Amino acid sequence: MYWDKEIETISASDLKQEQLQNLKKTVQNAKKSTYYKNILDKININTLDDIENIPFTSKQDLRDHFPYGLLAKDLTESVRLHSSSGTTGNPTVVFHTKEDINQWADLVARCMYMTGVRKTDVFQNTMGYGLFTGGLGFHYGAEELGMLTIPVGPGNSKRQIWFMQEFGTTAIHILPSYAIHLYSYFEKMGLDPKKDTSLKTAFLGAEPHTDALRKEIEKLYGIKAFNSYGLSEMCGPGVAFECLEQDDMHIWEDHFYAEIIDPETGEVLPDGEEGELVLTTLKRAAMPLLRYRTRDLSSIISEPCKCGRTHRRIARIKGRSDDMLIINGVNIFPMQIEKTVMQFPGVGNNYHIEIKKEDHMDRINILIEVHEEIFNGTLSKLDQLKKQIIEALKAECGVRPIVKLVEPESLPINEGKAKRVFDLRDKEEN
Ligand code: AMP
Ligand code: ZN
């Protein structure tokens, strides 16, 4: 189902009523998991405010209870799992029943329909298929809406453009950084997407981006671009999305209970105040999550939207309350890099991670100090170490960094707390 007026324009009091019913069911269901069983032992939900008695769930909790600790249904009822990008130690894994998958497809279809996309559109998905949810999540939503769906997957700009032109792609799901990169490819080929494609709509998601960048993409392609927010722990894309007003993202409150907290104290903040988004699944069967700390910084907008939908909106994501980096849509924690680099005996004491924009895409450069004897040893040994480090980082993080091995004690040291990550993306290009 991709358009249900009754649900999307539900009154605040009816919505609260429905949320309360589903929260009660979710808590009951969650009690079947080994993780929540004890935590929820003494929790009674009589009003929505009672949710504040439930402790937060974190990414670390998911890792610590890998793989089945948060599973509330028998594993045989799950039909799919997704997992977030590489992590040191256990990854976060999320399970879905057939019904969970259907609901997710409905949500994504609802999002796309809201932007004016219809069955007659041709949809091209340039996001990664596989464990990452941007591929299959949008794919199922687009098919639910009945569009011709082209699962090109990421990269290969020439092929992207070929498909767009041959099949008259009108709607595209794309990383904002890749949209800019792809434009330069159009230019190189002497093409202008405004004239030489049928593109009308883009869904931009999976990484933080500014409104200015969105406007730039709209101008370059002659299209409307909509912000798409989601995270694999909830389902993936389909959590919050912009409507035609393009004035922040409706969060689907029939499926997710949203709170904003002070990331330091955990205190729940009133609508309008900026803090960390905390989400509770209200309908998921296989793996309910209660008060999940997304670490994404936003605020809840309760003023009515001109489109008439009553589900409140969340503001464009301002950043994160942890140190997670998003490199071309892939999530990486600096600790993953440290652990991988430091396992090589030739590596010295210090390293720096620099993230820059090159040709509009994120590039990660890692400067690593090596021991004297390695640095002054044979070139082939140095080169071999570099190759090994690159391969290990690729395997751990899912992205290939540029690695430079440098002399011992050549990297500047910060006084006080070590500063090793230098995110220089804002300072360039945009
Ligand atoms: P993943 O679990 O791999 O799907 O990554 C989810 C994370 O990507 C979120 O928690 C956000 O930090 C980030 N993200 C997803 N969509 C957006 C968006 N539209 N704007 C900013 N950040 C986003
Ligand atoms: Zn709206």
Residues belonging to the chain: 430
Specify the residue with its C-alpha closest to ligand 1, atom 5: 231
Q: Give the separation between CA 45 and CA 56, rounded to whole angstroms.
A: 15
Q: What six digits make up the tokens of 154? A: 């990421």
Q: What's the pLDDT tens digit per position in 314-372?
A: 999 998 999 899 999 899 989 889 889 989 999 988 899 999 998 889 999 999 999 99
> What is the CA(224)–ligand 2 centre distance, in A?
15
| Cα–Cα distances in angstroms (integers) from residue 56 to residues 88, 133, 268, in the given order | 22, 23, 11
- Higher pLDDT: 352 or 418? It is 352
> What is the CA(332)–ligand 1 centre distance, in A?
12
pLDDT for 429 equals 47
CATH class held by domain 1-322 = alpha beta
User: What residues are paired with 352 via a beta bridge?
Assistant: 367
Q: Residue 292 in contact with residue 279, Cβ under 8 Å? A: yes
The DSSP bridge pattern shows strands 224-231 and 236-242 to be antiparallel
Average pLDDT, the chain: 94
Helix axes 334-342, 379-397, angle to 10 degrees: 140
Q: Among all ligands shown, which has an atom nearest to the Cα of 325?
A: 1
Segments of 98-152 assigned E as strands = 122-125, 148-150
* Residue 87 clears pLDDT 90, i.e. is over it: no
Helix axes 133-145, 98-114, angle to 10 degrees: 70
Q: Residue 239 in contact with residue 229, Cβ under 8 Å? A: yes
Q: What's the pLDDT tens digit per position in 11-31?
A: 999 999 999 999 999 999 999
Cβ neighbourhood burial of 102 (10 Å; 0-12, 13-18, 19+): middle
pLDDT for 91 equals 87
* Residue 384 clears pLDDT 50, i.e. is over it: yes
> What is the CA(253)–ligand 2 centre distance, in A?
13
pLDDT for 215 equals 95
Q: Give the separation between CA 340 and CA 334, rounded to whole angstroms.
A: 10
Q: Give the separation between CA 31 and CA 308, rounded to whole angstroms.
A: 37
Query: Ligand 1 site: residues with CB under 6 angstroms?
Result: 84-85, 133, 205-208, 227-232, 236, 294, 296, 317, 320, 326, 331
> What is the CA(112)–ligand 2 centre distance, in A?
13
Which superfamily does CATH assign the domain made up of 325-429 to?
Answer: ANL, C-terminal domain (3.30.300.30)
From 173, 246, 314, 317, give the residue whose CB has the most ligand 1 atoms within 8 Å, as the site to mutate. 317
Q: Residue 252 in contact with residue 311, Cβ under 8 Å? A: yes
In the chain, where are the structural domains located?
1-322, 325-429
Q: What six digits make up the tokens of 75? A: 């594993």
Q: List helix spans (H) across 208-303.
A: 211-221
Cβ neighbourhood burial of 196 (10 Å; 0-12, 13-18, 19+): middle
Residues less than 5 Å from ion ligand 2, measured at CB: 243, 245, 305, 307, 309
| 224 Cβ contact partners less than 8 Å away, ≥ 6 residues apart | 115, 116, 200, 201, 202, 218, 244, 246
Residue type, 206: A
Q: Give the separation between CA 315 and CA 72, rounded to whole angstroms.
A: 32
> What is the CA(304)–ligand 2 centre distance, in A?
8
DSSP state of 75: G
